[in-house]
């Protein structure tokens, strides 16, 4: 019998090592563990991401397996990509020369030895130039907070604490460039919460 399982796996455009473990449970249900591991040895972020756990009957997993893992896999890939960008920006910020605190000395005017020499005008010191905030470091810190929040969401999702995971999601108003991503994640967690509640009632 021909299946399209591996075609759909390839359609996820995986960047890393996808590990899938299947364990049979009593009552004819299965527990499926899915983990997308980062293979970049230079990247430390994302090393402790727990696996996704799916529980259900064979029919339920056949119907909803890819719908459930598709978005988390994409989120994990984005996490790796964001972490790589963050580390690159951080290294770039560290290499920037420190701004000099002292202002440059104002050159003195040469002495005027003419017979019509006028009294020298008092020199006006330049106003100290205020240092501009380092926008790169601010953006890097904001990205770090976002990544930490999303890692907590992944952990809570793995623990099937969907309500807490939804509450942990960053505010889309603070991250307008990730509004669509956060909206999709919220909808996915809400669906999982509903599915988990229905399975508990069986």
Tens digits of per-residue pLDDT, 147-175?
998 889 889 888 888 889 899 898 888 88
Assess if residue 112 is contained within a domain: no
Residue 14 in any domain: the answer is: yes
Q: Binning pLDDT at 50, 70 and 90, where does residue 134 land?
A: confident
Sequential DSSP letters for the chain? ----HHHHHHHT---SEEEEEEEE-TTSEEEEEEEEE---TT--TTTTPPPEEEEEEHHHHHHHHHHHHHHHHHHHHHHHHHHHHHHHHHHHHHHSPPPPSSPPPPPPPPP--STTPPPPPPPPPPPPPPPPP-HHHHHHHHHHHHHHHHHHHHHHHHTT-HHHHHHHSPPTTT-GGGHHHHHHHHHHHHHHHHHHHHHHH-
- The answer to whether residue 65 is domain-embedded is yes
Max avg pLDDT among 91-105, 112-126, 175-189: 175-189
**Within-domain flag for 116:** no
Q: How many domains does the chain have?
A: 1
Inside any domain, residue 159 = yes
Whether residue 68 lies inside any domain: the answer is yes
pLDDT tens-place string over residues 6-24: 888 888 777 777 888 898 8
Q: Is residue 195 part of a domain?
A: yes
What is the reported pTM?
0.38
Residue scoring higher pLDDT (159 or 77): 159
Q: Which domain holds residue 29?
A: 5-94+136-201
Task: Let me know if residue 142 belongs to a domain.
Answer: yes
pLDDT over 80 (residue 5): yes
Could you tell me the pLDDT band of residue 77, with boundaries at 50, 70 and 90? confident
């Amino acid at each position: 019998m021909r299946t399209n399982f591996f075609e759909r796996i390839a359609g996820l455009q995986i960047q890393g090592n996808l590990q899938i473990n299947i364990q049979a449970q009593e009552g004819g249900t299965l527990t499926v563990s899915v983990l997308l591991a980062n293979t970049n040895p230079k990247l430390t972020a994302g090393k402790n991401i727990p696996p996704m756990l799916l529980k259900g009957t064979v029919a339920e997993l056949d119907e909803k397996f890819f719908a459930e893992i598709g978005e988390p896999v994409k989120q994990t890939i984005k996490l790796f990509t964001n972490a790589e960008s963050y580390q690159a920006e951080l290294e770039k910020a560290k290499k920037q020369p420190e701004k000099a605190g002292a202002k440059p000395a104002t050159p003195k005017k040469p002495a005027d030895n003419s017979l019509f020499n006028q009294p020298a005008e008092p020199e006006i010191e330049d106003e100290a130039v205020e240092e501009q905030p380092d926008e790169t470091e601010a953006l890097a810190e904001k990205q770090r907070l976002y990544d930490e929040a999303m890692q907590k969401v992944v952990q809570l999702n793995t623990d099937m604490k969907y309500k807490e995971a939804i509450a942990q999601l960053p505010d889309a108003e603070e991250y307008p460039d990730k509004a669509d991503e956060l909206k999709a994640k919220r909808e996915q967690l809400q669906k999982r919460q509903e599915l988990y509640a229905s399975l508990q009632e069986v």
